[in-house]
Structure 1
Amino acid sequence: MSQFLLVLVSGVASGAVYGLMGLGLVIIYRATDVVNFAMASLATLGLYVAVSLHDRGVATVFGLLAAVAVTVAAGLLVRETVIRPLGQGQLFSALVVTMGVSLIAENLAGSVWGEQPRDFPSLVDGTVRWSGAALPVQSLVTIGVAALAMALVGYLFARTTLGSAMRAVAESPATARVVGLGAQRLARISWALGLGLAALAGCLYAPRSGLATTALTAPLFRAFAGIFLGGLTSMYGAVVGGLAIGVLDNLAANYVSASFRDTFVFSFTVLVLLIRPQGLFGTRTFQRV
């Protein structure tokens, strides 16, 4: 029982990271029709800045804030210089561009900080015992911080004027312009929010995995699996899908085979999509031809 509880908590912590990253992907996609494949690599740059500050004696929390700031600034620079000039509706072109940016960011990180993996500072250390299991405090903090961030995003979109405006732009940029909403300004805010969530997810994930130039690639792919499982346009689905992927991944690694954990998780995702192509919480759309 204690082993199962440990696996479950670890899975929820991993799923919280995937859910945060998936939520960022969905927010950016709904606002600008861009699948931001560079999100993880840009967040990795921020993590390297945080480690550099930590090595110089800066408190960990300030390093994490710097990681978020650097990620957001780099992402907005990418949007304004190489994504926005593409124009609306260039989904495939934007996807290819973000892939290119991802490779550039990884090479930049390797050139500046080296290719060798590095430790990333934990927010907290130690364990707590519950039902006979020694649960890492870092995992519990990850779950708590991710839940708080998700709740704040939910409040933003459900209860604030800014959130309503962002939802309006996501539904119809043309309509948003007619009623006087600044679509570009709201798109920048959406990118900043999505990138900030990705950086936060990276800060919660890296203490367990270590830091390397491709450290966030695996969480990014699992976040993609989560948003397709939950529904590409559903923020709620991104969170639930990410949590499901995290729990399934850890259960498969511990009770099936660590070598086939990804096979198990992605096979399950494909099976769900074959039955429900729009995902668990997505909405089926129809087009006249």
Structure 2
Amino acid sequence: MDQLLLVLVNGVASGAIYGLMGLGLVIIYRATDVVNFALASLATIGLYVAITFHDSGVAVVVGVLGAVAVTVVAGLVVREVVIRPLGQGQLFAALVVTMGVALIAESVVSSVWGTQPKSFPSLVEGTVGIGDAAIPAQSLLTIVVAGIAMALVAFLFGRTSHGSAMRAVAESADTATVVGINVQRIARMAWALGLGLAALAACLYAPKAGLAPTVLAAPLFRAFAGIFLGGLNSMYGAVIGGLIVGVLENIGATYVSASFRDTFVFSFTILVLLIRPQGLFGTRTFQRV
């Protein structure tokens, strides 16, 4: 029972990271119709900036804030320089461009900081005893921080005028323009928010995984599994899907085999999509042809 509790807590912590990253992907996709494959690579640049700050004697929390800021700025530059000129409705072109940006970002990281793995400091040390189980304090902090971030996003979209404008743009950019909403400003806000969430998720993930130019490749694909499982157009689905993926992979790694954790997760995701193609919380869309 103690082992199961440890597996579940670590699974929820991992799922919270995937949920945050997936939430960032969905926010950007709904506001701008861009599936941002560069999101993880841009967040990796933020991670290396954070470790550079830390190595200079700056507190870890300040480094995390620096990582979020650098990731957001880099992402906004990418949007204005290479995504916005593509125009609306260029889903495939934008997808290819963000893949190219991801490769460029990884090359920049390798050139500036090298390819040797590095460690990333934990935000908190030690364990917390629950019964006979010793739960890593970092896992509990990850759950709390991710939960607060998700609650703030829910408040933004549910209770503020900016959130209402972002939801309006997500429903129809043309209609939002007619009623006087600045679609480009809302798009920039969505990119900033999505990239900030990704950078926060990266800083929560790095203490466990360490640093490397492609360290966020695995959580990015698990975040994608989560948003397809929950529904590509559902923010709540992205969070819940990420949590399901995190718990499933930890259960599979512990009770089946660590080498089959991704097989376990993606097999379950494929099974769900075969039954419900729009995901658990997504809505089916229809297009006249």
- Secondary structure (helix, strand or coil) at the match of 2:224 reads helix
User: CA offsets per residue over residues 202-258 of structure 1, 9 Å max, x none?
Assistant: 000000000110011100000000000000000000000000000000000000111
Q: Which amino acid aligns with 2:49?
A: V
Indicate the residue corresponding to 1:274 in structure 2: 274
Instruction: Return the alpha-carbon distance in structure 2 between the equivalents of residues 153 and 171 of structure 1.
Output: 18
Instruction: Return the alpha-carbon distance in structure 2 between the equivalents of residues 260 and 46 of structure 1.
Output: 30
Instruction: Return the alpha-carbon distance in structure 1 between the equivalents of residues 160 and 288 of structure 2.
Output: 35
Q: Which amino acid aligns with 2:113?
A: W
Coordinate RMSD, CA, aligned: 0.5
Indicate the residue corresponding to 2:51 in structure 1: 51
Indicate the residue corresponding to 2:6 in structure 1: 6
TM-score under structure 2 length normalisation: 0.99
Matches within 5 A, 1:159-198: 159-198=159-198
State whether structure 2 residue 199 is matched by structure 1 residue 199: yes
Instruction: Return the alpha-carbon distance in structure 1 between the equivalents of residues 33 and 4 of structure 2.
Output: 40
Q: Which amino acid aligns with 1:65?
A: L
Indicate the residue corresponding to 1:60 in structure 2: 60
Once the two structures are TM-superposed, the CA of residue 288 in structure 1 deviates from its matched residue by 2.8
Instruction: Return the alpha-carbon distance in structure 1 between the equivalents of residues 264 and 50 of structure 2.
Output: 34
Matches within 5 A, 1:40-119: 40-119=40-119
Q: Which amino acid aligns with 1:137?
A: A
Instruction: Return the alpha-carbon distance in structure 2 between the equivalents of residues 88 and 270 of structure 1.
Output: 30
User: CA offsets per residue over residues 63-114 of structure 1, 9 Å max, x none?
Assistant: 0000000000000000000000001000010000000000000010010001
- Secondary structure (helix, strand or coil) at the match of 1:128 reads strand
Instruction: Return the alpha-carbon distance in structure 2 between the equivalents of residues 3 and 159 of structure 1.
Output: 40
**Identity fraction in percent:** 77
Unaligned 5+ segments in structure 1 are none
Indicate the residue corresponding to 1:231 in structure 2: 231
Indicate the residue corresponding to 1:250 in structure 2: 250
Instruction: Return the alpha-carbon distance in structure 1 between the equivalents of residues 218 and 37 of structure 2.
Output: 12
User: CA offsets per residue over residues 8-36 of structure 1, 9 Å max, x none?
Assistant: 11000000000000000000000000000
Instruction: Return the alpha-carbon distance in structure 2 between the equivalents of residues 53 and 288 of structure 1.
Output: 53
The total of aligned residue pairs comes to 289
Instruction: Return the alpha-carbon distance in structure 1 between the equivalents of residues 34 and 82 of structure 2.
Output: 12
Structure 1 runs (4+) greater than 3 angstroms displaced: none
Instruction: Return the alpha-carbon distance in structure 2 between the equivalents of residues 116 and 238 of structure 1.
Output: 32
Instruction: Return the alpha-carbon distance in structure 1 between the equivalents of residues 84 and 9 of structure 2.
Output: 41
- Secondary structure (helix, strand or coil) at the match of 1:142 reads helix
Instruction: Return the alpha-carbon distance in structure 1 between the equivalents of residues 68 and 199 of structure 2.
Output: 5
Once the two structures are TM-superposed, the CA of residue 287 in structure 1 deviates from its matched residue by 2.2
Instruction: Return the alpha-carbon distance in structure 2 between the equivalents of residues 79 and 21 of structure 1.
Output: 18
Indicate the residue corresponding to 1:221 in structure 2: 221
Indicate the residue corresponding to 1:16 in structure 2: 16
Indicate the residue corresponding to 1:37 in structure 2: 37
Unaligned 5+ segments in structure 2 are none
